[in-house]
Chains A and B, each alone.
Chain A
Amino acid sequence: MIEVSELTVRFGGVTSLDGMSVRFEAGTCGLIGPNGAGKTTFFNVLSGFVRPAEGHVRAFDEDLLSMAHFRRARWGLRRTFQTEQAIESLSVYDNVALVHEHSKLGRANRRGEVLDAIEFVGLRDVAYVKVGTLGVGSRRLVEVARAVVGKPRLVLLDEPAAGLPDAETAHLGELIRRIPEHSEALTILVDHDMSLVSSCCPVTAVLDFGKMIASGPTADVLRNEQVVRAYLGAEEFQ
């Protein structure tokens, strides 16, 4: 459970988040909104890269914002980046192990859990290959594996399917749907591919100009007039 209240972020004259309040309960939740609405900024606040001007975030009854940024991963917060950031000079295994060894998890079962995550995203065959030699699709999967290894509590996915063709998006969607059962984490998915969002997320929240304009069951949200006007555009989705 994560509860965001009155979150405001300003960059100079730009207000990227403007009193954002929302509550994500469990499972996989969608977060959508027009370009520049503040979705990535919201993720950056959660991971500690951006310090909000105002507001609070409580996650599983802890004050997330008072935590040092690198501690949040230890606490169980994981994310992927809009521009993929897998570490090229390390193997897939080391990429994932890296996250594991900086979490609170013991080392006893490290190898097993790391391989488990790699298996989960379907990269077992290339587990010892350097990431630098992999293609875009696989790199995104490496990021997903890093996000689910061990026992994450909160997984943030920032446009993981951008630039992936339909078939691979479908594969990715399947993975995202299985994250809650794999690791019991609360997952927040940002993407502009509505078919991916509606197939993965039972609930969705919509951000516009830094404010929440709608939230609830995905199907309802996507029919919301305001959302259609601000984000989806007139004709799409029926």
Chain B
Amino acid sequence: GSSSKSSSKSSSSASSSAAGSASSSGAASTNTAACGSKAGAPATGSPINIGTIDTHQPGTDFTDGPNMITAYFNCVNANGGVHGHPLKLFVQLDQTQPSQVAAAAKQLIQSDHVVAIDGVFDLLECTIDQSFWKQLGIYEMDAGIAPECWSTPNSAPVNMGPRYSSDGAVQYALNSVHASKIVFVQSNVPGTGYIAGGPAALAKAAHVPITELTENVPITDASSVAVNLVDAAGANGSVVLNFTPPEALVILQAVQKLGLEDRVKSWGCSTPCDTDFLAKALGPKWNHKLFVNAEAVDADDHNGPEIQLYKAILAKYGSSVAGGIGSFSQFGFLLAKFLVQALDTVKGPYTMKSVNAAIVGIKGYHSEQLCDPWTYGKLALHIPNNSDYTVTPDNGKMITAQGCTQISAADPQIAQYRSVAKAHGVNLG
């Protein structure tokens, strides 16, 4: 059995910050009040424990996600909680070691007694813990990378993930740029091999030749890579990158340095390239030359009530969100919002069973940040975010190049999801 050792790790100090916010008043608190049911009333009931597992290692830090969830929870707790119950997030960090990820899951369940898993931003977690969650009847909500995040019954992500985002970028090159050839390049980090399957299927369906390349990361000779990509694509081809922002930037800058932007018809990139930083770092030559698949709206450009709430929470509770506004905290916000919305539907005690029943029952939750409403459902696989849009740099900013578009069902995984979702009664746009 497990010891009764109390863990003093990075759980949200919900009560203290809730008390703090109660005394402070003003514009911010009225803005953030929308996150809870009773504005300004701190939650005092027994806490509802939520767990998450996130990658945090030298070079890869995904903690902005859970930190944003904690910020959201603090906001909720200061404004009535969930039926008076405060939310408490237990965060387990890992260094991409499988054993650690497995141990973290057990720690959350056995020592921290969490009732749900929400907000997993991790490189491996979906793969490793799937069978454990299934065994316990837990339905996790995450923003993942590992294939199991989308291909298993007990996981549903808010993000689109590298494969379907790459699909989107390739789809744009095929349908909108009309490239006569696709060069799809990504890192050869293990476990990412499955991604190329989507772009390959799309290109095949369009009868366009596709070359799939992998590069060792970190990239140490970006110029060589750049030249190689341009040579491979040819003047009427498109190059589509699927890398993390630093790697993508390194390649695109090398392209720029060597003056190769115009040697191909267009450049494409999966979601990670969707940052203003990249737009700024690249010159105006890239305007309408680079097309980036965007999974969620650009928070800087939008100002609906949800985005306003997001920014207000970030300002008031999000001091630990190091990156500020960005896709990690946006997804963190969404994961928290959907969970709270689901918890609100629970009648009676918050047990693992009742809470997970509510989570798996999520259907058609709307968000300003996503193209389609979000649904969980007892499905064999979950790709609830499968429709998005495309952005392009425009003098230092990313602007929309194409509005919401469904990812092509030429990718067999998407086709399979659509058929099971349809059977489940999910309305897909």
**A–B contact, 8 Å CB criterion (strictly below):** no
User: What is A's interface to B at a CB cutoff of 8 Å?
Assistant: none
